[in-house]
């Protein structure tokens, strides 16, 4: 797992912020490993600890697999860059992420992707279907936001936040996926879950719609009950499921893409 000791960062960055930077850089690298990047065009953000309502996002021009903790750009909710560097930010990323950070104090990490399968399901009139166990766990806590064009209009932020409501997973119609979490592990598990559920749906429907099995209503209800029960229980020596998933993800990243914590 990445360490925060002897960090190659300016003295003005607190230990708490540096840890968030390391986690966010890891999130970017992992997303590249899973093939969810889109050249330089999608984005993941993280709230900076403290009272200033700043958040971190990728420098516009670097690939996900190039992101490091020190390369991340800090921005405020009005779009002003804090300590500008060699790169700016993707304005559409600012619009989407500032909307969620402003509306949801629990949105410490937010991921938004344009993956082929996520975009395909977001463009399907029926949205995410109850076809498999992963989808059943997501559907009760999934929201939708209609496509309004490239996210360059600030007034879309109010509608996006309203559509998100109190959910943590969203399909942006004709656009892609979005997920958030109070911790990095929760955000990672949420975006992994929606992306993999979308991939499963695309593969299932590719063999024909006629004989596809929709899960029985009773089974759907049972999964909803089971998921609510599981989220209330800590596992793994006091660590919750989000911590366990994130620790495993970091071990994978350290094997395949070290250097994100620089």
Q: Which residue has the tokens 């997501």?
A: 138
Q: What is the structure's pLDDT at 83?
A: 82
CA–CA gap between residue 147 and residue 184 (Å, rounded): 27
Q: What percent of the chain has pLDDT over 70?
A: 92
Closest CA to 21 of 103, 78, 79, 82: 82
Indicate the range of 6-10, 129-133, 175-179 predicted with least confidence: 6-10
- Classified as helix, coil or strand, 179 is strand
At residue 9 the predicted structure's pLDDT band, cuts being 50, 70 and 90, is low
**C-beta of residue 201 within 8 angstroms of C-beta of residue 131:** yes
pLDDT tens figures, 171-211: 999 999 999 999 999 999 999 999 999 999 999 999 888 88
Number of other CB atoms surrounding residue 90 within 10 Å: 21
Per-residue CA distances from 32 to 27, 70, 158 (Å): 9, 18, 30
Tell me the mean pLDDT in the region 60-85: 94
At residue 11 the predicted structure's pLDDT band, cuts being 50, 70 and 90, is low
Tell me the mean pLDDT in the region 28-43: 97
Q: Which residue has the tokens 């059943």?
A: 136
Output the six-digit token pair for 226: 């089971």
Q: What is the structure's pLDDT at 1?
A: 38
- CB within 8 Å of 197: residues ≥ 6 apart: 121, 128, 132, 134, 135, 138
Q: What is the structure's pLDDT at 4?
A: 34
- Asked if residue 7 has pLDDT above 60, the reply is no
Tell me the mean pLDDT in the region 153-167: 96
Rounded to 5 degrees, φ, ψ at 215 are -60, 140
Indicate the range of 60-64, 82-86, 120-124, 147-151 predicted with least confidence: 82-86
At residue 237 the predicted structure's pLDDT band, cuts being 50, 70 and 90, is low
pTM of the predicted protein model: 0.90
Alpha helices in the chain (DSSP H): 15-33, 91-103, 116-122, 133-138, 156-164, 184-205, 217-231, 241-256
Tell me the mean pLDDT in the region 30-52: 96
**C-beta of residue 72 within 8 angstroms of C-beta of residue 7:** no
At residue 38 the predicted structure's pLDDT band, cuts being 50, 70 and 90, is very high
């Amino acid at each position: 797992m990445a360490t925060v000791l002897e960090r190659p960062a300016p003295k003005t960055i607190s230990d708490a912020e540096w840890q968030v930077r390391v986690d966010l850089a890891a999130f970017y690298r992992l997303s590249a490993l899973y093939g969810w990047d889109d050249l330089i065009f999608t984005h993941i953000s993280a709230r900076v600890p403290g009272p200033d309502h700043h958040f971190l996002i990728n420098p516009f021009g670097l690939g996900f697999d190039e992101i490091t903790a020190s390369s991340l750009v800090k921005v405020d909710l009005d779009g002003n860059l804090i300590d500008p560097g060699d790169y700016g930010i993707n304005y559409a990323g600012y619009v989407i992420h500032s909307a969620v950070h402003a509306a949801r104090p629990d949105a410490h990490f937010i991921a938004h992707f344009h993956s082929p399968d996520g975009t395909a399901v977001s463009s399907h009139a029926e949205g995410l279907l109850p076809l498999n166990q992963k989808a059943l766990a997501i559907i009760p806590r999934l929201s939708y936001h209609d496509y309004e064009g490239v996210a360059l209009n600030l007034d879309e932020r109010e509608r996006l936040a309203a559509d998100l409501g109190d959910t943590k997973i969203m399909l942006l119609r004709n656009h892609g996926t979005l997920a958030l979490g109070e911790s990095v592990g929760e955000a990672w598990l949420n975006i992994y879950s929606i992306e993999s559920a979308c991939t499963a749906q695309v593969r299932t429907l590719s063999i024909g719609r006629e004989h596809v099995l929709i899960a029985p209503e009773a089974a759907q209800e049972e999964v909803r009950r089971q998921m609510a029960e599981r989220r209330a229980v800590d596992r793994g020596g006091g660590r919750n499921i989000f911590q366990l998933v994130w620790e495993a993800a970091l071990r994978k990243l350290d094997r395949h893409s070290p250097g994100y914590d620089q």
